[in-house]
Each structure stands twice: as structure tokens, then as C-alpha cells.
Structure 1
Amino acid sequence: MFNSLHCSPSYWKCWKGGVVAKEMVRGTTENGYSCLRVFSYMFETVNVGSSYCLMVNENSHRFMYYFLAFGACIKGFAHMKKVIAVDGTHLHGKYEGMLLSAVVQDTENHVYPIDFCVVDKENDASWTFFFEKLKEIVVDEPNLCFISDRHKSIANGIVNVYNHTHYEYCMRHLDENLCVNHHCGDYLYLYYNAAEAYSLEEFDNHFSRIQEQMPRCSRLP
């Protein structure tokens, strides 16, 4: 601004100008929400086999949840590992909210997305909605496994929707729990040896050492 216009506006004025410029190019947040139905129609038309669902409040008719899955991702899931990682991340915008997602890995361990869902916050209702829509794409079967952090609403959502799948906690989040809450950082190598075991016999051998070195942690639910 100083080099081009020879003026020195305040930081607040520069930030506000950036907001106005983005709205001129991309449109306002409210306009984006109002275009969701049109966007969904065009999205499904261009991406054949895709799935989407827009849920609004019955009384206020305001946005609640938006679920989206590309047709190519739905078809490709048949060739992926049947271990699904689910998680949520915060959205930084005018209305905030959460972005829920489910991903898997291919045979070369590349991350492969399945679907996305924008919700107001992580609770039982939003995660149950997410898994209900996911179940239309990913069939409930014993050979399927979900991986997540220890958020209770994720566990509740899986229990409410999927009856035959397995559900386990993420190794990294259990790692953090052992370090932060139980101060077992010196023995984490024992935990990883057990977690990465490929046979029940190998796991039992490593877990017996965990019971010796970390008896209290070995009894955690």
C-alpha cells in the first residue's frame, strides 16, 4: 500500500479491505449457503454416481448438515483397504462449524478420501447423521474396521449405525494418552511393538512385557 499509493493504513483497515475483496470475488458466506442446492444439482450432474444430502432445520429453515461424496471415490472404495479413519476438524469462518471426513488407504498406503460432511459441532446427532449417510456407501460388514480418536460421539455414532463392524482407537491418540495422562513415555516402544504385531502370539509376548513395566496402563479400558 505504501509503495503503490504512498499511504500507511492501519492493520485493521488492511484486514477489513481483504475481507471485502474476498467477498467481491467469492461472494458472501450467506450467499454460499443459499447456493448449496444449485451447487449440489450441478455437482451430481457433472460427477455421475455422487452422493449428497442437505439437511436444514424444520422450523427456521436454516442450514444444519451437508454431506458430500464423489462418485469416483465411492466406486474406488471397493479396491481399498477396509480400514476407515474418521475425524473432524474445525472450520474457521463466520459461522465456524466442523468438517467431518472418512478416509482409507490403498495398497501403497496412499490416503484415499471417501466423503466429507459439514456440521455445526461434534456431538451424537452430527456423527450419527454422518454414519447414516456413510452406510449408504460403505456396507456394514464384519470385515470392516473404523479407526478414530477417543471422542465419545464417534463411538456412539458407530454403535448406533454399524452393528457388525469393528471399532478401534488410533495408535497416536493412545500414545498421547499414555504420555500425558500416565507418564509412560519411557516404555512407549513396548506399546508400539504390541500395536504393530502381526500375530496373536507376537502380541501376547509384547503385551506381557507391558504388564510387567506398565501394570496400571495394561488394565486401561
Structure 2
Amino acid sequence: MAFGAFIHGYAHMRKVIAVDGTQLSGKYEGVLLFFVAQDTKTYIYLLAFCVVDKENDTVWGFFFEKLKVFVVNKLELCVISDRHVSIANCLIRYYPFVHHGVCMRYLGENLRTYHHCTNSLYLYYHAAKAYTLKEFNDYFNALKERCPGATTCLEHDFGFEKWNWAHFPGNIFNVMTTNITESLNSMLLDEREYLVASIFNSIAHQF
């Protein structure tokens, strides 16, 4: 679902969209998917939402296909998400011109969990937010000395252009995470237990 006001207002939003989903906890379970943007004052702007049984290529493809009605596939568009493979697959298929970034916070938690570099994570975050290549190289090389496995992952598994300002090919403004979708999730904690019609009505009422 996307309300008419959401569709008309998108023309005035920054062309950076955060994509995410949250698990529903009611009798029928499922996943609530979001497309969220920001206006020029960084206020959260919901674009569209959808309830599906689970996250896979089919449902993400359905959602992206519907979104193309008013979110046009252009080079100026950027999409931020976690590393869900279905999101990446469907972006390639439905939005081949967009610049796709991976949530900085998601990668940080990945490094903390799988590379045990908690004490050096500040170097990763400084590198991610670096605007110049020199600044990026300074922080990245310092991280490399402490956590070589983590930097190998960041360079070869993810790629610099997915998580660093200096390498990112599009204009991502200040949106380096999917936090705007997490803020939306926190607004809908109770609704996760509702029936689908009640979830949609609650979202309509709040926005």
C-alpha cells in the first residue's frame, strides 16, 4: 500500500530510500516490509509498505515492481538495506541504475560478531564516514593492522563502494544506515500482533 499523499510527496524527498522488514508476532506471523525516505529536514517519510509471508526473491520482486509506479529507476536514486540477498537480487532486476549501499550499522554488528573486533570498531565507523580517500585510507589501514580479517571482508566481500562515503558513487546525503526504518519499527511495536487490516489502518491513522 502507498497512499496518494505519499506518492505526490515523494517528488520533494531526498532520493535515498531505506528498505527493511520486521517480523510480525500475531497468529498468522509474516513480515512487514517498508520503503522509507527522508525530507530535506531529515524527517522520516514513509513511501510504501507491504505484508508478506516471508522474505524471498518473489515477494521483494513484487514490492519493487509496485514501487516502480512512482519511484523511477534513475541514476540519482540510492537504496540502503541490510545484506539480504533477495533485496540485492531484485534491485539488479528492477532498479539496475540505482546505487545500492549496505547499512553501516549492520556491517558494524557483523564485524563485532564474526571478527571479534569490538575494541577497534571505532576505526571502522570513522572509515565509513570519511569523505576523502586520504582520510579513509588512514582509518582503514589502522583497522587493517588490528583486524586484518575484518578489513579483508570489508574490501572483498562487501566492497568499499557499499559502505564508505568517499567511494560511494551516488549522493547518499547523511543516510548511512537503515535507522529510519528502525524508527518506524519502534512506532509499530504493538501493531505487530494485529491482524493485517488493523496494521494497515493503524499506519494510515499515524501518518
User: Common fold, TM-score beyond 0.5?
Assistant: yes
Tell me the CA shift for residue 199 of structure 1. 2.7
Shift of the 142–200 alpha-carbon distance from structure 1 to 2, 3 Å rule, reads: farther
Structure 2 residue matching 1:121: 3-state secondary structure: coil
Residue 97 of structure 1 corresponds to: 30
Tell me the CA shift for residue 168 of structure 1. 1.4
Residue 142 of structure 2 corresponds to: 209
Write out aligned runs for 1:24-35 (5 A): none
Amino acid across the alignment from 1:79: H
Residue 103 of structure 2 corresponds to: 170
Structure 2 portions without partners, runs of 5+: 158-207
Q: Structure 1, residues 141-167: CA drift from partner, whole Å, max 9, x if none?
A: 111111111111111111121111111
Residue 39 of structure 1 corresponds to: none
Tell me the CA shift for residue 188 of structure 1. 0.8
Tell me the CA shift for residue 72 of structure 1. 1.2
Structure 1 residue matching 2:80: 3-state secondary structure: strand
Residue 124 of structure 1 corresponds to: 57
Q: How far apart, in 2, do the equivalents of 1:201 and 1:81 lie?
A: 28
Tell me the CA shift for residue 212 of structure 1. 2.3
Q: Structure 1, residues 167-205: CA drift from partner, whole Å, max 9, x if none?
A: 111111111101111101111111111111223332233
Structure 1 portions without partners, runs of 5+: 1-67
**Considering only CA atoms, is the larger Rg found in Structure 1 or Structure 2?**
1
Q: Structure 1, residues 11-32: CA drift from partner, whole Å, max 9, x if none?
A: xxxxxxxxxxxxxxxxxxxxxx
Structure 1 residue matching 2:97: 3-state secondary structure: coil
Amino acid across the alignment from 1:91: L
* Structure-2-length-normalised TM-score: 0.70
Residue 191 of structure 2 corresponds to: none
Q: Does 1:108 align with 2:41?
A: yes
Residue 159 of structure 1 corresponds to: 92
RMSD: 1.3
Q: Structure 1, residues 70-115: CA drift from partner, whole Å, max 9, x if none?
A: 1111122222221111011112223221111110112222111100
Q: Structure 1, residues 96-142: CA drift from partner, whole Å, max 9, x if none?
A: 21111110112222111100011111111000111111111111111
Matched pairs, number:
154
Candidates 114, 124, 127, aligned match of 1:194: 127
Q: Does 1:183 align with 2:119?
A: no
Q: How far apart, in 1, do the equivalents of 2:40 and 2:133 lie?
A: 23
Structure 1 residue matching 2:131: 3-state secondary structure: coil
Q: How far apart, in 2, do the equivalents of 1:127 and 1:170 lie?
A: 18
Q: How far apart, in 1, do the equivalents of 2:11 and 2:131 lie?
A: 24
Q: How far apart, in 2, do the equivalents of 1:199 and 1:102 lie?
A: 30
Residue 88 of structure 1 corresponds to: 21
Q: Which structure ranks higher in relative contact order (CA pairs < 8 Å, sequence separation ≥ 6)?
A: 2
Q: Does 87-96 or 115-124 show the bigger shift?
A: 87-96
Tell me the CA shift for residue 215 of structure 1. 1.7
Structure 2 residue matching 1:84: 3-state secondary structure: strand
Q: How far apart, in 1, do the equivalents of 2:147 and 2:75 lie?
A: 32
